[in-house]
Structure formats: structure tokens, C-alpha cells
Structure 1
Amino acid sequence: MTITFAAPPTLGSSGAIEIRRTDGSLADRIEAATARTDRKNIGGAISDTGLPHDFSYESIMVEGNTATVYPHRPLEYGQEYAVTVEEGVFGSAQQWRFRTRKHAPRHPRRLTVAANGGGDFCTVQGAIDAVPTGNRRPVTIDVRPGVYTEIVYVREDRPYLTVRGAGAGRTVVRYPNNDLRNGDKALSDGGPADVCPRRVLETSDLHNCWRASFGVDAADFRLSDLTLHNTTPDGGSQAEAFRGNNDRIALERVHLVSNQDTLRLQGKGFVTDSRISGDTDFVWGTGTVFIQDSVLESTDRGYISQSRNDATRPGAVFVRTRLTRAPGVPEASVVLGRSAVWRFTHSQAVFIDTKMDTHIAPVGWQIDPNDCAQAQSASFWEYGSTDLDGRPVDTSQRLACSRQLTADEAAKWSDPAFVLGGWDPEAGRS
């Protein structure tokens, strides 16, 4: 629900917004005092223990002259509701009534989302929730132009989804979710309802699955033609724009924006014709990832990738990417990748036919400890690197335990089906 004022409103610390049915019974109550740290279940999220997980979120958000109210749970179809805004919430009391749509969408395999109310749903999460758990058929969700301020989560038993926008920059899904709100720092004392499902690293992945603005635990998921922006400010902790944790996750023509940890893939992932912006480990995870024909934009000094794959699977492979920088990013201040090789002994990052600006440091890579004798199983590989104008880059100062691939090796690792274990992510591309 949105409320528009003549001037920017101030959210108070008392009072509540109540939503009541026609019989007077209470459907929801949103308290002003707890609106910035409210909690609700999103997407039917279930922890590793089988208990429902509640996300921390803002149930009342103010932007400009508009206040947006996010109820704790969906309302019913075909019902009339009365809304009361108590005096302490915005300074003056308000009342109005509204009626919900008569029935659920009649074609559940093709759903539309429109911020102006002209689609099947007003939120991306609403459309995802309409897909039945245990789904086994392809479902396409078309998201029309607009800005959608919400945390989005797709649980494991909703596979075969395609979420498609109207173009990066035209369809924007955003939220300031992060580690301080829904990750390890927020849930260090969390109970069994906060434990992550589908953990790859038993300890490291205990709570950090909940901090992405758009999180997917389902297989066979495709995302295209939109912008995902984790609006957590710079320095505001780890904050994924997109996290995918299953097999056959494909991203096409998207713009992913955050600072630290922008894109995290933990299963098998494919990214093409996209733009990824960030500064610290902004492509990272335990998965096998193939990224092609895309721009990786460094917004500050830092690290492009951090691979945590093990000996059973490849890590991150970048083919025909452009490494650019935002204004003000210093010369030689960014490395292609870093790894704690004492812990992730088989980390792999491969850059093939890459065009890069001079913000990339001559050493290329960073390892901890800085001792190549302890990185014998790591694979920091490169082939055909040039500057942005196509001139070969001088790689003579690269980390000693990195290496330049041969042409035959580069050809093999440039094949997504080879890297991704036989999956052809480009079959059936839109």
C-alpha cells in the first residue's frame, strides 16, 4: 500500500497501521515503533531444520513524499478491507477502504508483475509465491517497467522459473539487505529457524544465505533483462544483489549492482551479456560459474573474484569480459582474484580473452598466505589479456604461481558445456 503526502512525511515511533476485514476482524497490524526492524516470512522460506525462517525487513518505507506499507502476509482475493493509520505513525490519522482482485490468475504458467497494479501482481515475490511448491513445469514471470523495492526469495521446491524484466534499467528490483540485517552478524546467536538450507560450507554458510536482495535456492532458474540493486551503502557489510544456490541457474542481460559480494553462485551458474558492478569479491562463491561477454565494473579498489570451489568441480571462468572502473578508481588497485589458499586449496579463476583497464594491478592475483608453495593446487589462469584498445597486456609481473594458458587449453576452457559438466546453458535462450 502507498500513501502520498503533500510533503515528505516523517515516520513516528508510536501508533500502528491496521488492516481489518469487513467483519471487523484484524488482518494485519504494522507498528511504527518496529517498522524498520520488522520480521516476516518471505517466499515460504524454510531453514535447514525445517522451521520457517523470518527475514528482517522494513514494513514502512518512506521515499520522497510517498510512504509504502508492506504487510506481514498476503491478503485474500475478493475481499474488502478497511485501513486505519493511527495518529502517531505520520502525525495525522487516516482511513480508507480498498478491495482486492476477485480471483487468482487463471494462467499460472505465465504471470505478470506491474508496480502500477496493472498486472497479476504488484510485487515479484507475489508472483513467485503463486507458483505451487513442487512445481515441475516451466513458469514465466514477466516484470513490467518500474522499481520494485523488496527482498525476493525462491525456495528449493519452486524450480523451472524464468523471471524476465523489460530491460536492465527499465525494470529494477532493489533492497538494502545485507549481513547486518539478515546475515551472520545479525544472526550470530540465531536459533534453528535461521540455519541456511542447502549449505555447501557447513560453518561458513550457517546464516549468510538470507542477506541477498534476490536469493534463489531452486534449480533451473533463469533471470533476464532487469537490474538487481542491493542498495546497502558502501561499507555497509556483505550484500549480494543475487545469490544462486543450485544447478542450472542462468542470468542474461542483467545489471547486478552492489559493493561487496554482488554476485554469489554456489551451484552451476551461467552469466552472459550482462554487467556486474562492485568492489570487494563481487563475483564469488563455491560454485562452478561461466561468465561471458559481460562487463565487470570495479567501483572502488578491491578484488573482482573470490572462488571457493573444491577439488570436485571447476571454479569461475570469465570469457570475453571487459574489466572497467568507475571514475576515481586508482591505477593498479584491483586484482583479478584473491583466495585464502590455506583453506580453499583448489580455488580456480580463469580469465580468457579479457579486455582490462589499467586499474588491474600488474601482479594480477592475491593469495593468503603470500606463499606460492602453499598454492600448489590452486589454478589462477589467464589467456589473451589485452587493454581496452586490444593491445596485449604485459603479464611478466603476474603472481608466480599463476600461469598463462596455451591456445588449446584456452579453447577448451572457453566452452561453457565443458566447464559446466555437460549443461548447455545457451540451449533455448530467449
Structure 2
Amino acid sequence: MRITAALATVVLALWPGPGPGPAQAEAEAEGVRFAAPGGADGACVDAPLEFTFPARPAPGTAGVIEVRRADGSLADRVEAATAKADRKNIGQAVSDTGLPHDFSYESIMVEGRTARVHLHRQLDYGQDYTVTVDPGVFPGYSGSWRFSTRKQAPRQPRHLTVAAAGTGDFCTVQGAVDAVPLGNTRPVTIDVRPGVYTEIVYVREDRPHITVRGAGAGRTVIRYANNDLRNGDAALRESGGPADVCPRRVLETSDVHNCWRAMFGVDAADFRLSDLTLHNTTPSGGSQAEAFRGNNERIALDRVDLRSQQDTLRLQGKGFVSRSRISGQVDFVWGTGTVFIQDSVLESTGPGYISQSRNDATRPGTVFVRTRLTRAPGVPDGSVVLSRSAVWRFTHSQTVFIDTVMDAHISLKGWLIDPDDCAKAPDLAFWEYGSADPAGRPIDVSQRLACSRQLTAAEAERWSDPEFVLGGWDPEKKG
């Protein structure tokens, strides 16, 4: 089937009944429906363009999609040949050298019968556009459509809403983040409505004081398969080189490119995230793939569900996590920061290591209080360690588990160091207190790593205070 209509003018399909609904600009030509999500006032400037086919389309490797303004000038161009590994700047990212950093991403993504085209940049407000699709992009189909964007930017930049269907201020989380001014000094709340958002999100250092709040874990889901092979050291050693080095590097020899591989990356201080799911969809064995990376001071996560396989949560600076769920297999809580995690579930999805702290002598590492260590079906007994450290390099690694419920997948030795020689780890702080099995019985710690230690009750009480661990920051303080 081939679309032969020269132009299908977009109409607005409004949701019946009072109040806002999932209105969007849409048009259909010979069985293929085009949509630019938005409301009655026009399409979102940040929305992916959607093409829904009678059957699942098979993207081609030739041809282009062009978006042109009313005066005929080119606004964007997506080439089918490079769609799987396209490049664009996300969040106005800038490397440590001051040069813009472009992320690798997929500009054409197919799910079911719908193909979404993710443009390289936001469109302009109050503009009429024409979209033209060459026949090689989706073999057997071609066509042209028109749509208009909404007239103006949101009038309340301190409270923004995101809705994939187009009923908010923006259709993507990154679109809302980009609306926060550089050098921001005031609190900004971004409410993300229920839906699935397939995107990489990046918050640069000079956009502090942002809160991103979903409608509940499982209801608001942000997902993407970002990883080291796509955007980290493995990808950028050859293509990027020194020009793309990470900003705010903590470990000079390690943090060269690995900041870009997180699905949701934050280099700004005073950032809060709550009530949503972050899922890095990189499969097992697909390299390091953070669901969330926070690299600054006073980063707080509450009621979030973080999912990946390797390096799920990475926190540097000072971080706080409460009432959340973190899933992974290898080092799925890690980083150089001082981190306090309480009242949360840590699920092992396979044999491996829960945490790896790389703090130095100047700051505490990671403290877990009242957490539950669970496992996915099929994870063997004794196949997971609480934490590991290369003590030849990270001499002061500290990980503390207090009042932890542990299933039998936790190894009796509990901890792992490299080299496996306690004489070479005099400053190691692998501490534990009050560990119990799911039935409430005390864990047998007689076979724990010799240089790990059981805390006293007084020590455990002190280290259970987040304000003490976090150096005076009280993340639960109101106001």
C-alpha cells in the first residue's frame, strides 16, 4: 500500500465532554494515521511525531523525513540510514571542555503498529509545519502532512506538567526540564502524568532546585536502553575522544565518558525525584546501564522504582533514598558519594553484587537502614554479596547495613574484596548490625569476611541518623 495523497491537512480531534482530554493533531491518508500530540491550541513543541500503520511497519534504510516551516525552510531532517544510531544534544549538555555533547539515540522507534519519530530539537511555538516522508523510510508508504504547534510557552515556569498525550505543558520530561532557565535559583516542580515516556533525560549542573514528581511508581514510567555501549566509555573512546569528557568528574581516570550512559542523569544540586518508575531497558549483559545517576549535592529520591541490570543507581555527592525499590544484578547501588538509603527493597535479579562504594577518606560511603534484600525467581542461595571493593584502589570503601532483612541468596561470607586479603584493607569499613532472615531470625554472621565488623547498638543508632551520615543535611526536614 502506498500513500499517494499530496497533502493531508491536520485536523484537531477533541475528546468529547467537558474538561481537558487527550486531544491531538492528527490526520489520516489511505490507512496511515499521522499524529502530533497536543491539545486544542496545537501540538507540543517537544513531542515525537507518530505514524500508525495498518500493520507493524518495517523501517527501511533509505529515504528521509523532513519537517519544514510554513516559509519552506528546513526545521529538521531524520535519515532512515542513521536512525538506529542518530545523534542529538539532550538538555543542552556541555562537556568539561565547554563543547556541546551529542548523545547517541534512536530517532525512529517502532512499537506495535506505531512508529515514533524523535526529532533532533524542539520545534518553535506558534508555527505551521509540513512533514514529508520518503517512500524508503517505511517501504511501501510515503506521504505529507501539516500541523501547527501551540501558540506560546507555559506561563507558570515554576510548575510545569508533562503528559505524553499532549494535555500538559510538554509531552516529554526533557521538554519540561529544558524549560527551566539556566542559572535557576527558585524551586521548580515538574508533574509527570501517568504514561510511558521513552527518552533519555539529562539535567545539567546549572539547572538546580528541580523536583520531578510522577503519579506513582508503575503509573508514570520513564524508560530507555541507554548504556556504556551506546553513550559511555565503550562508545566514545573512538568517536568522541577528549572533547566529550564528563563535567564534574570525581575520578579522573574513571569518569571520562561514563556520565552520558545513564537513562536519567542529573548533574544539578538540590534535585528531587518521586513517585515514578525509571527503567533502563538494556538487557542483561548489555554493559553498564544506570537507571538514575545523580552527581551533585542534596539529591533525594522517594517512592521510586529503579530498574536495570548493572549499575542501576549511581550517586555521587550526597544522596538520600527512601521508600523505594531498586533492582539489578551487578553493583546496582554504587558510586563515590555519601548515600543514605532507608525503608527500601533491593532486589537481586541474578547472582552478583548489591553495592560498590568508592568513597575516599574524606567522606562516608553508603548506609542502608531497614532495607529488605529480596531476589527474583531462580536466583540461587548464597550467590549475592552485600558489597565489594577493589581495596588496592579504593582504600576507604565504606558500606553499612543496619536492621536488614536478608533472604538466603546472600552469601555467608557476605562481602568481597580484591585482593582477598584483609591485611591489605586496614581502612575498609564493611559494617553490619541486626541482620535477620525473612522470618525475623538473626542471620548467622560467623562466616563473614574477617575484616568486616558487627556494630554495637550505640554505633548502629548513630549511623541510622541520616543527618549524621549526610554531614548536617536533613533530607526529611519540612520547609
TM over 0.5: same fold? yes
Question: Cα deviations across residues 142-196 of structure 1 (Å, max 9, x unaligned)?
Answer: 0000000000000000000000000000000000000000000001132343100
Distance across 2 between alignment mates of 1:367 and 1:11:
48
In structure 2, stretches of 5+ residues that fail to align are: 1-48
Question: Cα deviations across residues 17-68 of structure 1 (Å, max 9, x unaligned)?
Answer: 0000011111000000000100000000000000000000000101111101
Question: Cα deviations across residues 93-143 of structure 1 (Å, max 9, x unaligned)?
Answer: 021111101100000000000000000000000000000000000000000
Say yes or no: does 1:188 pair with 2:237: yes
Of 111, 114, 123, which residue of structure 2 is paired with 1:66? 114
Amino acid at match of 1:19: V
> SS of the counterpart of 2:137?
helix
1:162 matched residue in structure 2 = 211
Question: Cα deviations across residues 384-421 of structure 1 (Å, max 9, x unaligned)?
Answer: 00001211000000000001000000000000000000
Say yes or no: does 1:217 pair with 2:262: no
1:324 matched residue in structure 2 = 374
Say yes or no: does 1:40 pair with 2:69: no
Of 135, 139, 152, which residue of structure 1 is paired with 2:188? 139
- Decide whether the 8 Å contact of 1:47 with 1:192 is kept in 2: no
1:8 matched residue in structure 2 = 56
Of 405, 418, 433, which residue of structure 2 is paired with 1:368? 418
Say yes or no: does 1:96 pair with 2:149: no
Distance across 2 between alignment mates of 1:149 and 1:302:
28
1:125 matched residue in structure 2 = 174
Say yes or no: does 1:309 pair with 2:371: no
Distance across 2 between alignment mates of 1:183 and 1:200:
16
Say yes or no: does 1:417 pair with 2:467: yes
> SS of the counterpart of 2:161?
strand
Distance across 1 between alignment mates of 2:60 and 2:112:
16
Amino acid at match of 1:254: V
User: Aligned-pair distance for 1:345?
Assistant: 0.2
2:65 matched residue in structure 1 = 17
Mapping 1:251-400, distance limit 5 Å? 251-400=301-450
- Decide whether the 8 Å contact of 1:177 with 1:212 is kept in 2: yes
Amino acid at match of 2:127: Q
Distance across 1 between alignment mates of 2:90 and 2:201:
7
> SS of the counterpart of 1:210?
helix
Mapping 1:200-215, distance limit 5 Å? 200-215=250-265
Amino acid at match of 2:260: W
2:162 matched residue in structure 1 = 113
Of 122, 128, 133, which residue of structure 2 is paired with 1:80? 128
In structure 1, stretches of 5+ residues that fail to align are: none
1:54 matched residue in structure 2 = 102
> SS of the counterpart of 1:140?
strand
Distance across 2 between alignment mates of 1:323 and 1:94:
54
- Decide whether the 8 Å contact of 1:46 with 1:193 is kept in 2: no
Distance across 2 between alignment mates of 1:159 and 1:339:
32
Distance across 2 between alignment mates of 1:168 and 1:193:
37
What TM-score comes out, normalization by structure 2 length?
0.89
Amino acid at match of 2:237: S
Identity %: 79
Distance across 2 between alignment mates of 1:5 and 1:267:
47
Distance across 1 between alignment mates of 2:334 and 2:478:
26
Amino acid at match of 1:74: Q
Amino acid at match of 2:313: L
Amino acid at match of 2:294: G
Distance across 1 between alignment mates of 2:243 and 2:123:
24
Distance across 1 between alignment mates of 2:341 and 2:438:
18
Question: Cα deviations across residues 342-376 of structure 1 (Å, max 9, x unaligned)?
Answer: 00000000000000100000000000000000111
- Decide whether the 8 Å contact of 1:228 with 1:254 is kept in 2: yes
2:37 matched residue in structure 1 = none
Distance across 2 between alignment mates of 1:252 and 1:181:
29
Q: Greater shift after overlay, 380-389 or 187-196?
A: 187-196
Distance across 2 between alignment mates of 1:7 and 1:375:
61
- Decide whether the 8 Å contact of 1:52 with 1:193 is kept in 2: no
> SS of the counterpart of 1:127?
helix
> SS of the counterpart of 1:418?
helix
Distance across 2 between alignment mates of 1:275 and 1:195:
31
Distance across 1 between alignment mates of 2:242 and 2:395:
31
Amino acid at match of 1:167: G
- Decide whether the 8 Å contact of 1:105 with 1:111 is kept in 2: yes
- Decide whether the 8 Å contact of 1:35 with 1:59 is kept in 2: yes
- Decide whether the 8 Å contact of 1:167 with 1:226 is kept in 2: yes
Distance across 1 between alignment mates of 2:147 and 2:253:
47
2:74 matched residue in structure 1 = 26
- Decide whether the 8 Å contact of 1:51 with 1:192 is kept in 2: no
2:20 matched residue in structure 1 = none
Aligned length: 429
> SS of the counterpart of 1:33?
helix
Amino acid at match of 1:8: R
1:232 matched residue in structure 2 = 282
User: Aligned-pair distance for 1:293?
Assistant: 0.0
Distance across 2 between alignment mates of 1:203 and 1:367:
21
Distance across 2 between alignment mates of 1:336 and 1:158:
35
